[in-house]
Structures are given as C-alpha cells and as structure tokens.
Amino acid sequence: MKPRVTVMTIGVDDLEVAVRFYRDGLGFPTDGVIGQEFEHGAVAFFDLQPGLKLALWPRASLSHDSGLPVDKPSATEFTLGHNVASKSEVDAVMALASDAGAVVVKPAQETFWGGYAGYFQDPDRHLWEVVWNPHWPSLD
C-alpha cells in the first residue's frame, strides 16, 4: 500500500459547534456543511494543505456508516500535529486556539528533544499538538 492520506475524519458531537471552532476560531477554509439532504450525510470539509483535508462528521453518522457503536471518546487515542516555523508561532497558535474556545491541556514549553510544543483540545476533546521542531526543514 502506498501511503496516500488525503482526508482525516474526526467524529464530533455537534457539527455546527465544531464548524464554528475550526472555521471562525482557527480560520480553516471551508465551504461549510454539505450533504444535509441525506440522512447521516451532513459533513464539513476543511482544506489543510494541498492534497489534505480535515472532515468533521457527527459521531452518530460515523457510527451508522461504519456499523460500529458510538463509544466513549478518549483524547489520548491519537493527536493531530500542527508543525510551525518558530517558537513564537507555537505561542500564537496556542493563543488563537484558546481564544476560539479550545482547552489548553499543556501550555507550550521546551521539549526533552530540543523542540517547543503545547497541547490543546477542540470542543470535542480531540487533542492537537502545536510544535516547532528545530530538526525539521524550515516551514516558511
């Protein structure tokens, strides 16, 4: 299998609340909620970078489509990593997320491996890591 991730879908409790957080709070571009004419079809897509989208889909719809029951979410199942070009950009993104309603669970700080990072949770408790890694090529 050739790695080709193009969409990351996360289940949400309230699609409108989640869309407002990502669109209005974080400034992610989207055409808004589509598919409302279909039962279990309402979804919102956000452009992250060329070839990669974030999809928000109600947990009940994801459950219906996959055939799996809705289970208690856990913030430590996975993280979404947002790499930035500097320590100051980590601080700026963390402040933006907090102002948008995110819960900062670990303020930005120096890491054991020489970087700088912090964690926040979106309204559905999904965990985001905002990180500057001095060992990666420049993101400017």
CA dihedral 134, 128, 23, 104 (to 10 degrees): -100
Which amino acid type is present at position 55?
A
CB 113 within 8 A of CB 93: no
H/E run at residue 109: strand 103-110
For residues 34 and 90, give the distance between their C-alpha atoms in angstroms, rounded to a whole number: 32
Report the pLDDT value the prediction gives residue 140, as an integer from 0 to 100.
62
CB 8 within 8 A of CB 54: yes
Mind listing the pLDDT tens digit for each residue in 91-103? Answer: 999 999 999 999 9
| String of DSSP letters for 12-34 | ES-HHHHHIIIIIIS---EEEEE
Residue 2's pLDDT band (boundaries 50, 70, 90)?
Answer: confident
Mind listing the pLDDT tens digit for each residue in 52-104? Answer: 999 999 999 999 999 999 988 888 888 999 999 999 999 999 999 999 999 99
Q: Whole-model pTM above 0.75?
A: yes
